[in-house]
Amino acid sequence: MAVTSEPDNRPLPGTMFTPRQVQVLKIAVIVLGILLVGGFAFVLAAIVYQASHPAQDAVAQHPAMAAGEGARAIDLPMAPGANVAGLSLDGNRLAVQLDGPSGAEIAVIDLASGKIVARVKLKPQ
């Protein structure tokens, strides 16, 4: 007659956990630790990849400028007596702040096409 042994469901001394619960907890801790280390490795690999491969879209959009054939000349009509008070570049857009006798104005230029996208007249209230 074979004697079947029942699993030991008695808590370990000094704890309220059974050996089976401790084993499952150990496995969970190991799996979560591996996921944590793998996640950090993935984030670091993504940072290194992004740092070593700069944006290629600027070269694709402006092949003439990338090849060194010269820069594009853009004409910005200004009122007589107006002067440039400031410039701000954001991507392919250049904002030019103009101060003149008729008041302040901001012209937004698309550098890819060379066209004036918008003109904003600044009026005091």
Cα separation, 111 vs 115, in Å, equals 7
What are the tens digits of pLDDT across the range 30-69? 999 999 999 999 999 999 999 998 766 554 555 545 545 5
Domain spans in the chain, listed from the N-terminal domain onward = 76-122
HEC string of 10-57 equals CCCCCCCCCHHHHHHHHHHHHHHHHHHHHHHHHHHHHHHHHHHCCCCH
pLDDT digits over 72-112, tens only? 788 888 888 889 999 999 888 999 999 988 888 999 999 88
Do residues 113 and 121 touch, judged by C-beta distance below 8 A? no
pLDDT at residue 13 tops 70: yes
Whole-model pTM over 0.75: no
In this prediction, residue 33 carries a pLDDT of 98
